[in-house]
Amino acid sequence: MAERIDNPWWSEGWRLVRERLPEVVTPRRRRVLAVVVVASVLVGGGGMLLLLPAVDDLSEVQAGALVSIFTLLLMQLSLSVCFITWGRRDREPDYRAGRVSLGLEDVFDLGKPVPALSPELREEATIHVQRTRRALPASILGFGLLQLFLPLTLVIMAVSGWWTSMAWIVLVQFLINAWQPIYLLKLLGSTTVQLRRIESAPEPPTYRGPKGWGIETPRKATEGDATAG
């Protein structure tokens, strides 16, 4: 049975997001985010104010809640698109998420013992983990902002006293989709343990050939092999 591995992915994930954040949100991108927020408030809030006269039986509190909800929806949707786009743009050109050479799957599966790694596979595994660390933080922020809209909408509806049947639909959607940013955060936070496993992985056994031949090539260990050499 594989040894239980201590994997504090929650704290590690947020630490890596904070470290990567200055590289994701550059000064130029901060200006883009400011424009997006202002435009969302003007379009979302202003548009709903124009449409309110067409909606019947709304109190002032409910009307304010409706304007806030649609403004918040547009703002978070726009911000999410920005972060997800930047996450894809900042990835390494040849990064293939989740696809690695045969023999590396057990390195990233923390439930299995770390396999023996040749120098080539060790280098590939390290590069893959580093590229995952670069690619995921912006996507986590994008999907997290997108999912944040639903609980904030529930709070606005509860505070305004506008708890309709639609609130239950919003709650169900939140419960169904909330796992997405958490799943990405776990993938990111687990990379620290993966790097430790790669560093501690043993070298594969070698076949030296008959004495005097001078042959030394990597060899796959077979069942029942107790030693190599």
Q: What is the reported pLDDT for 228?
A: 42
Span 164-209, pLDDT tens digits = 767 787 788 788 888 889 999 999 999 999 999 999 888 887 655 5
Distance CA 113, CA 3 (A): 7
Q: Which residues contact residue 173 at a Cβ distance below 8 angstroms, ignoring those fewer than 6 apart?
A: 150
pLDDT-above-90 percentage for the chain: 29
> Which amino acid does the sequence have at 186?
K
Give residue 98's pLDDT band: very low, low, confident or very high (50, 70, 90).
low
Q: How confident is the model at residue 82 (pLDDT cuts 50, 70, 90)?
A: very high
Q: What are the structural domain ranges in the chain?
A: 9-203
Q: Enumerate the β-bridge partners of residue 218.
A: 206
Place 224 in a pLDDT band, splitting at 50, 70 and 90.
Answer: very low
Contacts of 33 by beta carbon, 8 Å cutoff, 6+ apart: 25, 79, 82
Q: What is the mean pLDDT of the chain?
A: 82
Distance from C-alpha of 195 to C-alpha of 126, rounded to nearest angstrom: 7
pLDDT of residue 226: 44
> Are 145 and 138 contacting, i.e. CB atoms less than 8 angstroms apart?
no
Residue predicted with more confidence, 61 or 103: 61
Residue 229: the pLDDT is 43
Alpha carbon of residue 156 to chain centroid: 28
Read off the pLDDT band of 110 (50, 70, 90).
Answer: confident
Burial (CB count within 10 angstroms: exposed 0-12, middle 13-18, buried 19+), residue 228: middle
Contact 187, 203 (CB under 8 A): no
Helix axes 27-40, 60-89, angle to 10 degrees: 150
Burial zone of 195 (CB within 10 Å; 0-12 exposed, 13-18 middle, 19+ buried): middle
Ordered DSSP codes for 36-67: HHHHHIIIIIHHHHHHGGGS-S--HHHHHHHH
pTM: predicted TM-score of the whole model, two decimal places:
0.77
Write down the pLDDT at residue 15: 96
**If pLDDT is split at 50, 70 and 90, which confidence band does 146 have?**
confident
Which residue(s) pair with 217 in the sheet? 207
Question: pLDDT by residue (tens digit) across 22-41?
Answer: 999 999 999 999 999 999 88
Looking at per-residue pLDDT, the higher value among 203 and 100 belongs to 203
Alpha helices in the chain (DSSP H): 9-24, 27-40, 46-51, 60-89, 105-108, 119-160, 165-177, 179-189, 191-200
